[in-house]
Amino acid sequence: MDSRDRADTTAAAEVGRRIRDARIAQGLTQGELAGDDYSVGYVSRLESGDRRPNAAVLAVLAGRLMVSVDFLMTGAEASERLDKQHDLDSAELSLAAGDLEEAMVASSRLIETRALAPWPDLLRRAKVIHAQCHEARGDWHAAIIELEDLHREDNRDEMAAVVGIALSRCYRESGEYQLAIETGERVMAGMEESGLTGTTEHIRLASTVAAAYFEAGEVGMATRLSRRAIDAADAISSPEAQAAAYWNASNIERHAGNVERAVQLGTKALSLLENGSSTRNLGRLRLQLARIQLHQSEPDLDETRALLELAAQEMRWSSASPLDEARQILTMARLHLREYKPRDAVRLLTDIPPTVCHQDPLLSAEMRVLEVLALAMESRPVAQSYEDASILLQLLGSERGVAQLWFELGDAMTAASAVEQAGRAYREAAVAMGASRALAPIYDRVDFAFSISG
């Protein structure tokens, strides 16, 4: 017997118990409850859980027992379910607005008090919100543990897609790219079997899988999947699906070197999200678009500053996570470097708390690299700062984000006329991108023009 059969058997037994308890409370015999419509044997089998009544039978029995159909099905009245739905809606709104503490407390209370026990679908929703709170805090492993438990349930509805999206995304953020791909594709296949192809959640899941393919180095597959997701989102004219598809595609196009297309896609996603309710996501997208613009050879710095200032404001309104706030500060520091204000950039970096750096080592490495860039811009000594940045990057291993930072470190050392260190940084960048150390010297970029990229 699989998990679904066991659940059906348990549900039938609980319905039968409620029928029996209500009959006894009304002082009726099984024959009186059966009336002329059913046999006493049938009522007996219902009460023992051997048979499960359909909706028509439940309506008749509920009328004779003077209770609601909802009570026989769940043990609670419909008004109670509406109250709990309202509580979940409030928790979800808090999460969307970035009030993580409120969302975490509310979802924890509903789960731990067993207030949602009569409604498995609402309990599942509460657990998803709770896991998403961990994700929003940047605690990927806590989120993964809870999402894996939810993912093991044999469900093929849109909530399964929500779980699959979050789990795939958390695997990706924790560097487990193959798991992110496998999980996302498995849930997508289940949705397709259930006729949910082309829904908003299906498109969001496809975008998430595309991002995982990209991080795994399969850029071609990622680009094709992200473009299919855009076509599907446009076909159903869903702003939420379109925003998700454009957002993910923008990031992929940027890293693939198609900066102008990345800006176009990011701007489309931003215009769609501006009409939505997620202030936190809006701030994060403005931040990403600002970083893309800084990657351009001749960005509009005034426009970039406006994006960053508005993103900071939205993050304050939505109680954004410390990680999001730190990324906003880092991007503003990059803007200062493009404006040739290195001292302003370094001063900004001191606003990032050490606890946040410990939470995300890549963020800490980016800070060190920006410090080297600022020192090189002022022709100040860079040797010690270079060593500090190098040690951090070596500890982080090989991935696309690390490779980008190695390239930037090489650019800084080129500007500082430190040819040997620049060559080493470019070789490490090539290795992080997947090139072998034997071929790495091909990637020496000691003649590369000094630039600051996003």
Average pLDDT over residues 400-425: 89
Q: Mean pLDDT, the chain, as a whole number?
A: 83
What per-residue confidence (pLDDT) applies to 114?
85
User: Is residue 391 predicted with pLDDT exceeding 70?
Assistant: yes
* pLDDT-wise least confident of 21-25, 31-35, 231-235: 21-25
Rounded mean pLDDT, 200-212: 87
The pLDDT score that the predictor gives to residue 77 is: 63
Best CA proximity match to 325, nearest among 342, 308, 341, 337 = 308
User: Residue 223 pLDDT more than 90?
Assistant: no
pLDDT > 50? residue 124: yes
pLDDT at 329: 93
Q: Is pLDDT above 70 for 17? A: yes
106-110, 192-196, 416-420, 449-453: segment of lowest average pLDDT = 449-453
Does residue 24 register a pLDDT over 50? Answer: yes
Q: What is the mean pLDDT of residues 211-239?
A: 87
Closest CA to 98 of 327, 321, 359: 321
Residue 182, pLDDT > 90, answer yes
Overall average pLDDT of the 83-87 stretch: 86
User: Which residues, including other chains, have CB under 8 Å from residue 147's CB and lie 6 or more apart?
Assistant: 128, 131, 163, 166, 167, 170
Q: For 90-116, how does the pLDDT look when each residue is reduced to its tens digit (9 = 90+)? A: 998 888 776 788 999 999 999 999 888
Q: How confident is the model at residue 338 (pLDDT cuts 50, 70, 90)?
A: very high
Q: For residues 280 and 387, which has the higher predicted lDDT (pLDDT)?
A: 387
341: confidence class by pLDDT, cuts 50, 70, 90: very high
Which of 87-91, 283-287, 446-450: highest mean pLDDT?
A: 87-91
> How is residue 192 written in tokens?
């397709």
Identity at 446, one-letter amino acid code:
V
pLDDT band at 257; cut points 50, 70, 90: confident
- Rounded to an integer, the average pLDDT of 303-319 is 84
pLDDT in tens, 158-173: 788 889 889 998 998 8
Give the pLDDT score at 105. 94
**Lookup: tokens for 454:** 């996003």
258-299 per-position pLDDT tens digit: 888 888 888 888 888 777 655 567 788 888 889 888 888 888
**Cβ distance 382 to 412 under 8 Å?**
yes
User: Distance from CA of residue 94 to its chain's centroid?
Assistant: 16
Residue 394 — φ and ψ, nearest 5°?
Answer: -65, -35
CA distances from 266 to 69, 244, 259 (A): 49, 10, 10
Q: Is the pLDDT of residue 75 over 90?
A: no
